[in-house]
Every structure is written in structure tokens, then in C-alpha cells.
Structure 1
Amino acid sequence: MTLEAIKYENGKLMILDQLKLPLFLEYIKINSVEDGFRAIKEMNVRGAPAIAIVGCLTVAVAVQKKEFENTKELAEFVKTSFERLVAARPTAVNMTFASKIINLSILFLNNFHFLNLLSKLESEMASDVKTNKLIGDHGAAEIVKLLGDNVTILTHCNTGSLATAGYGTALGVIRSLQRENKLKHVFCTETRPYNQGARLTAYELVYEKIPATLIADSMVSAAIKEKRINCIVVGADRVAKNGDSANKIGTFQLAVVAKYFGIPFFVAAPFTTIDFNCENGDEIVIEERDSKELTEIGGKRIAAEGIQVWNPAFDVAPANLIEGIITERGVFKPNEIKNQIN
């Protein structure tokens, strides 16, 4: 049984409160656009695919609570709702992409009706699971082709069922390797300062009975050397046209370390994560978060009063350090991404 981060049925949306994991399994009801905004901003839900799905389903919930006199009024409400939700965490591109498709559908399909909108919004969950399974299988096949059996892999942050509608992206690759009996062991980083690796990925790996070990972010080089890690796979929140990939802070240094040790570094993400309007990583807007995420744990201060804090949520792994970008359409070299625009 797979963890459900998102539950939606009959116009009612609930999300698993990931701030309570792994100690408590609690769901939050999303009844409005503002509820969705807060849940995304405060990271009750996180992970680029999950954010996009929750965004779409939040709009689905909200439109069912209102009456619209015409398509123009509906389109304006959907547009402003998505703008509000996208603003909660601007680095991830997936929800922006979904909102553009949905807004265009409303404006330009002559036979577009209210039920068409609901169907489109609600279909995002099933579509995401299908996409993730393809990502997992493509990635596993590529890694086995490169490394053979007994893959010892390292991953960062959380990219599994808790970050998606199900199965996962980078963790989906790990699941597919496990299913094919090609996986020897997984190492997951704690992923400071928000500890998504320790709280969420470790939780998923134990839940799925995948052999795994948790390490501190500062242990990666030693772990690669001593534990014979031979591959790194991470997710992404935005991929530029040249292949530069933004992901959870700490990803850049993993790519550098992988290059030093001569092991492949893969990025796994849905095709919608690729931003063809973004030429390179320098153009990606990096979200900066509250200093308390670094200076406090569980509401208790651990850092000296008066110290300045810099807390970017993401960094960018340069394309020249990436072995391949794993998508549902296949695995591409970074320099091949720009040719996939159509």
C-alpha cells in the first residue's frame, strides 16, 4: 500500500500534513484558494508535482463553491486563483505550466463547459502517477544499462509518493530498481534545514521496505568513498532549456562531488518541469525562506541570537555535471533538452 499525500473525492480535498511526519499521520482539509496557498507556502504539502496537483485541485474545490454567469467570469476566477497559488512557491514551474494549459482551454475551446474544467483539473492526479511510473522505469533501465546490477544509490530531499500523486520521480527510479531486483542499497540525506530526507524520504523507504540508510548532508563524500555509492539521483523543481536544474538546496554540491568521484548524477522530473522559456539556471528565481528554518528546531532556538541567516530553498546543478535528465518521455542528455520543445 502506497502513502497517499493527496486525497480528493466528490469535490473534497485533503492533504497529508507533511510537517507532522513522521510522528503523526494527519490530513488537512483544503476548502478555499487561501487554504491551498497557506498549505503550499508553509510546506504542509511540498514537491513540485504535488504542489501542481494540489493547486489544480484547490481550484477545482473553489470553483464548485461559486456560481459564474459566463465563461469570461469563470476564466478570470481561475486565472487569479492560479496566480495566487503560484506565488506561494515560485521556483517550481509545474503549476505554472498546468495553469496556462487550463486557462487556454477555458478561453479558446468553443465547447468548453464547467464540467470540462472540473474533469481537466481532477485528471491531474491519475496523469501524475502514470508519468511517475514511466520516469521510474526509464531511469532504472538507464542506470542498469550504465552500471549493471547491485546499484547503490544516493538521493536528496523527498521525491516519492509524498512529493507527487504517487510512486515518485527520483524515488520512483529507486522503486523501479527495487522491483527489478537491481537495487543493493539506498542512502538518503537528512536534507537540512527542513529535514525532508530524514522526516519524509526515510519514512517512505521504511514504509516500502526498501533497504536504506540515513546520513547527514555533510557525510556525502565520505559515504560515496566508504559505502561504494555508485549513482546519485535527485528530483527537480525547474529545468532550464540548457539542462541546468534547480532542486533542493544542497543539490549543486552533490553534482560536484559526483563529478569528483566519477559517478553518474541524474535528475528525474516530469517533462512539465522543463521551462523552455528559461535559457539557463541564472534565470531561475530562487525562493528564500524564513531564517527560523535554520535557527530553530521544533520551535526551539539552536543558533546564537543576532547571527545573520541566508536560507535559499533551492540551488542549481549545472548541465555539465548532469549525466542525464530522466522524464516520462525518456532519458536525455542536458544538451538534448532544447531539441525536445515540440
Structure 2
Amino acid sequence: MRTIDWVDGAVELVDQTLLPDKCVMLRIHTVDQLVDAIRRLAVRGAPALGVAGALGVVLAGGDPELIARLRAARPTAVNLAWGVDQVAEHLPEGPGAVLAAALRVRDADIAACRAMGERGADLLAGDRLRIMTVCNTGGLAAVERGTALGVVQTLHERGRLAEVLALETRPLLQGARLTTWELARMGAPHRLIADSAGPYLLAKGEVDAVLVGADRIAANGDTANKIGSYALALGAERAGVPFVVVAPESTIDQNTPSGEHIAIEDRDEDEIVAFRGVRVAPEGTRAANPAFDVTPHDLITAIVTDQRIIRP
């Protein structure tokens, strides 16, 4: 199953807001529909957003206002703007060239995820590895296989995976809803844990490596990822456990000098004070809801891309 694809003149994507209860494919015919899907996280994950941006340019039909709106739909994830830019430069060549460029971005993502899985599995020493991860970085975050969870899948296929400890990933529970769904589909042993349990289990020696994805990697190696990643990096550093970031080369933003220059998306307060329409905090309660945090490069053991291993 592909998370996002171009099918018969439209973008088709999995509506991730409905998982794990239902697996529904959306057909997207307009940029407005695609922007809505991106903002409400029906499609999410840096590589998948890159492909969404690429295919969205096809839907835009050369309208610069639509392309600009698509490019800015989520500010932290650099892949979205990157995917738009990769295809928009072919607009003068006509619709056929634009579609061909978008499909090349899709196909390159599939190849990149497989390469990251192989390179990441080669990097990690030992058999029967216990892996901790946050958010969702599998095929749902890409076209196929994914980034950090792609490494997990390769380890599992090689018979080297003992267990995955998946953080639930508040407030939208991408780990509980999506990562466990993908791990179950691949038959990989796993347990779900509360976000706050991660550093404690690292301190107890129950983890061999932490694998996370990235939404933007600054030029100095600082990395923006789902909120909760920084806490895992601190816990891993204290416990002497490798903290490995897995992301395609397209996630590296040489125009952003360091993490302090990364724009962190603040999402709606309702995601904190309520869940799926049910209020969990008293009326009038205010909330802070940063969707990402920044892990400084000195806490990162390695960055695995589709082309190389970087040791910040």
C-alpha cells in the first residue's frame, strides 16, 4: 500500500486521521483539498509531505497563488516546500513535464526510504535490538516503508529486531494510532509506552538505540522533530544509548544555520484540552501546543540519509 500516489488524474492518499479504526483513501482534486488534508494531518510525515507538495503543483495548474498557499501549509517541515520547488521549476515546460517531475519525486522517495533502511540497519551493531521511537516514521510518513521505522522494518526482515518501544506521542497519538498499526502489519514485536516513560526506560537499560525521523535538519546538524524527541535525546545521552536521526537528504536545509532559526509550528489549543471531540480539561483552560522541538546536534549520534551517514 502506498500512502500517497497519483492515480487517474488525482492525488490519492490515506486519511491518517481515521486510523487505526478505518483505512480510507481520499481522492484529492484541488489544491484547497490538499492543503486541508495537510493542515488537519490527513497526510503527514516529512517525506510524504514532500511528495504531496510535488503532486500538488500538478493540481495547481501553474497558478502561483495556489502554489504559494500549498508551499506554506506547514512551516516546520522543509520537505513540503522542497517538493513544491522541485516541480514548480518545470512549469514553463508544460503540464506533461510537471507531472513527470512530480512522479520522479515520488519514485525517488521510494528508493530513498529503502536506502535509509539498509544504511540504518548496517549502522546499528548487535542482534536482537531493542529500539525506541517517537511519533510515526513508517510508510504512512512516506510513500512506502518510511525513515526511522523503515530501519526497524529492515532489522525485522533481517531477524535482528527484538522489540520496539513506541511512544504514544501526545497530543494526537501518532505513535499509539499509527506506529503500532504499522508494526502489527509487519509482524514486529512491540509495546506502547507513555511519552514520559521514555527517558526512564532508557535509564533502566531497556533500549539499545533510539531512532527518530526529522522534519527539518539545520546546516549545523540541529534537528526539528515531533515534540518529545528532545527529551529522548537527553535521556539517551545520559544512558549512553545511540540517538539516531533517519531522514532523506531533502530534509537537510542548508539555508537554516541552526535549530534556533527553525520555525516551530504551534497548533490549535483544542488538541491539548480535548481529544476526538471529548474535552479532558476544564472549560477556560489555556494550552501551549508546539508540534515540534529541536534536538541540538551534540546530542545526535548519527544522521542517516539515503546517501550517507553524518556524525554531527
Q: In the alignment, is the contact (CA less than 8 A) between 2:86 and 2:101 conserved in 1?
A: no
Match of 1:84 in 2: 69
Match of 2:42 in 1: 44
Give the 5 Å matches for 1:11-30: 11-30=9-28
Cα drift, residue 114 of structure 1: 2.5
Distance in 2 (alpha carbons) for counterparts of 1:236 and 1:187: 18
Give the 5 Å matches for 1:249-260: 249-260=227-238
Q: Structure 1 residue 294 and structure 2 residue 272: aligned?
A: yes
Q: In the alignment, is the contact (CA less than 8 A) between 2:203 and 2:238 conserved in 1?
A: no
Q: In the alignment, is the contact (CA less than 8 A) between 2:52 and 2:83 conserved in 1?
A: no
Task: Provide TM-score, normalisation by structure 1.
Answer: 0.88
Match of 1:228 in 2: 206
Match of 1:313 in 2: 291
Distance in 1 (alpha carbons) for counterparts of 2:171 and 2:104: 34
Match of 1:155 in 2: 133
Match of 1:337 in 2: none
Cα drift, residue 7 of structure 1: 3.6
- When structure 1 is superposed on structure 2, of 221-230 and 178-187 the one drifting more is 221-230
Distance in 1 (alpha carbons) for counterparts of 2:262 and 2:245: 16
Cα drift, residue 26 of structure 1: 1.2
Distance in 1 (alpha carbons) for counterparts of 2:111 and 2:277: 39
Q: In the alignment, is the contact (CA less than 8 A) between 1:33 and 1:85 conserved in 2?
A: yes
Cα drift, residue 57 of structure 1: 1.5
Cα drift, residue 98 of structure 1: 2.4
Q: Structure 1 residue 119 and structure 2 residue 118: aligned?
A: no
Distance in 1 (alpha carbons) for counterparts of 2:83 and 2:36: 19
Match of 1:57 in 2: 55
Q: In the alignment, is the contact (CA less than 8 A) between 1:191 and 1:198 conserved in 2?
A: yes
Match of 2:8 in 1: 10
1:43 partner amino acid: L
Distance in 2 (alpha carbons) for counterparts of 1:305 and 1:26: 33
Cα drift, residue 225 of structure 1: 4.0
Cα drift, residue 200 of structure 1: 0.2
Partner SS, residue 214 of structure 1: strand
Distance in 1 (alpha carbons) for counterparts of 2:43 and 2:83: 17
Cα offsets for 1:189-232 (capped at 9, x unmatched): 00000100000000000011011111010111232244621100
Aligned alpha-carbon RMSD (Å): 1.4
Match of 1:322 in 2: 300
Question: Residue 83 of structure 2: which of 74, 94, 98 is its match?
Answer: 98
Give the 5 Å matches for 1:126-141: 126-141=107-122
Cα drift, residue 124 of structure 1: 1.9
Cα drift, residue 62 of structure 1: 4.0
Distance in 2 (alpha carbons) for counterparts of 1:17 and 1:176: 25
Match of 1:211 in 2: 189
Partner SS, residue 201 of structure 2: helix
Q: In the alignment, is the contact (CA less than 8 A) between 1:149 and 1:183 conserved in 2?
A: yes
Cα drift, residue 149 of structure 1: 1.4
Partner SS, residue 211 of structure 2: strand
Structure with greater Cα Rg: 1
Partner SS, residue 141 of structure 2: coil
Distance in 1 (alpha carbons) for counterparts of 2:25 and 2:127: 39
Q: In the alignment, is the contact (CA less than 8 A) between 1:155 and 1:232 conserved in 2?
A: yes
Cα drift, residue 134 of structure 1: 0.4
Distance in 2 (alpha carbons) for counterparts of 1:104 and 1:28: 27
Unaligned runs of 5+ in 1: 64-73, 335-342
Unaligned runs of 5+ in 2: none
Distance in 2 (alpha carbons) for counterparts of 1:20 and 1:139: 30
Partner SS, residue 54 of structure 1: helix
Q: Structure 1 residue 184 and structure 2 residue 150: aligned?
A: no
Partner SS, residue 170 of structure 2: coil
1:101 partner amino acid: Q
Cα offsets for 1:103-139 (capped at 9, x unmatched): 33445xxxx3331111001222221110000011111
Count of residue pairs the alignment pairs up: 312
Cα offsets for 1:53-103 (capped at 9, x unmatched): 12222222343xxxxxxxxxx3xx2x4333211222110001212222333
Q: In the alignment, is the contact (CA less than 8 A) between 1:60 and 1:122 conserved in 2?
A: no
